Structures are given as structure tokens and as C-alpha cells.
């Protein structure tokens, strides 16, 4: 196990740390949760940088990086929904769309890999990921402003912005999923081998 892979795997327990901090009734815990989220993002950048610099980029590392990214972001989105930071009434259907797309595209990537085809990330997928990260980051920092600094007006404004990015992420998720399927449908039907 090399350092880039350790950094990659560190994002999984970090989800539990962040959620635990959000439940901890101590001043500063929500801010620390947000800092841990930022650290998780830095490990995502650093693992790839170190793997390239050390010449140890591997298929395993690429697969695990993508998988831990999904666990990290989706785990936090589910937790934010459970904690009522995302309204369940419309947030749950959005989250189910996001989860369905992620499983479907991961399955498509596995089918493609089995056929010896590498599916490059599309621009819409990258925009989807950025909007998900912004949604989670904004919702987490809004909780810090509310609980740790007592700035309710700022927390409310940032929370609404985070929810807007969550909705945008859902739209981009559906669009990018449809785009991947349209482009690579032949892999599912066996027409591309």
C-alpha cells in the first residue's frame, strides 16, 4: 500500500468523522467538520499528484480514487439529507436520481473496462461533480456559521446557495448520465466489443 492509495482510502473514514462532528454538541465541531471536508478534497488532489510524480499510477488506484470520491460525496449528501440540511420532500427524489446515475455509470464503466474500452470523463460529468462538491461544502459551512458563530442570516443565505447547487447537481447528474448512455449504449447492447 503506497501513500497515494492511503490518501485515497482516507476519504472513507473521513465521512464518518465529518458526520460525527456535525452531531457533536460542541462549539467549533461544525467548523471542524467543514475543515475535514476541505482536507478530504485536498487528499483527492494530492493522491493523484503523488501517484503521477512517483510514477505509480495504476488501474487499481484510478478505480479506488473514483470509488472513494463517490463514497465521500454521496455519503455526505445522504447524511445531510438525514440531518434535515437538505429537505426530504424534494431532496430524497433528487438524491435517488444521483445514486441511480452513479450506479448506472459505474456499471457502464465496468462493462467498458471488460471490453477493453476506457471511458473518459465527460465535461458534463465534471460539472456535475463540481456542483456536488460545492453543494456539500456550502451546506457544511452554513452549519458552521449557524452553530459556531451564531450568524443565522449568513447561514440561511449560504444554505440556500448550497441547496441551489444541489438542485443543479441533480440536473447535471441526469444530463450527464443520459449523455454517457447515449454515447456508449453499444457497450450495454454488445454492439461495441
Q: Mean pLDDT lowest for which of 10-14, 29-33, 102-106, 181-185?
A: 181-185
CA-nearest of 59, 155, 73 to 112 is: 59
Residue 118's φ and ψ, nearest 5 degrees, are -100, 125
For residue 112, pLDDT beyond 90: no
The predicted pLDDT at position 107 comes to 83
What mean pLDDT do residues 162-187 have?
92
What mean pLDDT do residues 36-60 have?
90
Measured CA to CA in angstroms, residue 62 lies from 9, 65, 99, 158 at distances of 12, 5, 20, 33
Taking only Cα atoms into account, the Rg of the chain, rounded to an integer number of angstroms, comes to: 18
The predicted pLDDT at position 65 comes to 86
The predicted pLDDT at position 178 comes to 92
The C-alpha atoms of residue 1 and residue 7 are separated, in whole angstroms, by: 10
Confidence of residue 171 (pLDDT cuts 50, 70, 90): very high
For residue 122, pLDDT beyond 70: yes
CB of 67 within 8 A of CB of 185? no
The C-alpha atoms of residue 116 and residue 181 are separated, in whole angstroms, by: 17
The predicted pLDDT at position 155 comes to 98
What mean pLDDT do residues 77-103 have?
96
CB of 160 within 8 A of CB of 142? no
For residue 119, pLDDT beyond 90: no
Confidence of residue 192 (pLDDT cuts 50, 70, 90): low
CA 157 to chain centre: 22
Confidence of residue 193 (pLDDT cuts 50, 70, 90): low
CA-nearest of 64, 21, 74, 20 to 43 is: 64
Average pLDDT value for the chain: 91
Confidence of residue 161 (pLDDT cuts 50, 70, 90): very high
For residue 79, pLDDT beyond 90: yes
Category of 57 on φ-ψ map: left (φ > 0), alpha (ψ -120 to 50) or beta: beta
Amino acid at each position: 500500500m503506497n501513500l497515494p492509495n492511503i490518501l485515497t482510502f482516507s476519504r472513507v473514514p473521513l465521512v464518518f468523522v465529518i458526520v460525527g462532528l456535525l452531531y457533536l454538541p460542541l462549539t467549533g465541531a461544525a467548523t471542524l467538520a467543514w475543515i475535514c471536508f476541505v482536507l478530504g478534497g485536498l487528499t483527492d488532489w494530492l493522491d493523484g499528484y503523488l501517484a503521477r510524480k512517483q510514477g505509480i499510477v495504476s488501474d487499481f488506484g484510478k478505480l479506488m480514487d473514483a470509488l472513494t470520491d463517490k463514497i465521500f460525496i454521496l455519503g455526505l449528501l445522504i447524511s445531510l439529507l438525514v440531518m434535515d440540511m437538505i429537505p426530504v420532500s424534494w431532496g430524497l427524489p433528487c438524491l435517488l436520481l444521483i445514486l441511480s446515475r452513479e450506479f448506472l455509470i459505474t456499471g457502464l464503466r465496468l462493462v467498458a473496462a471488460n471490453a477493453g474500452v476506457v471511458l473518459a470523463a465527460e465535461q458534463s460529468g465534471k460539472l456535475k461533480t463540481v456542483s456536488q462538491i460545492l453543494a456539500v461544502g456550502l451546506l457544511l459551512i452554513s452549519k458552521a456559521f449557524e452553530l459556531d458563530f451564531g450568524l443565522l442570516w449568513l447561514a440561511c443565505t449560504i444554505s440556500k446557495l448550497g441547496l441551489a447547487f444541489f438542485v443543479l447537481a441533480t440536473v447535471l447528474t441526469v444530463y450527464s448520465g443520459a449523455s454517457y448512455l447515449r454515447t456508449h449504449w453499444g457497450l450495454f447492447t454488445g454492439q461495441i466489443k
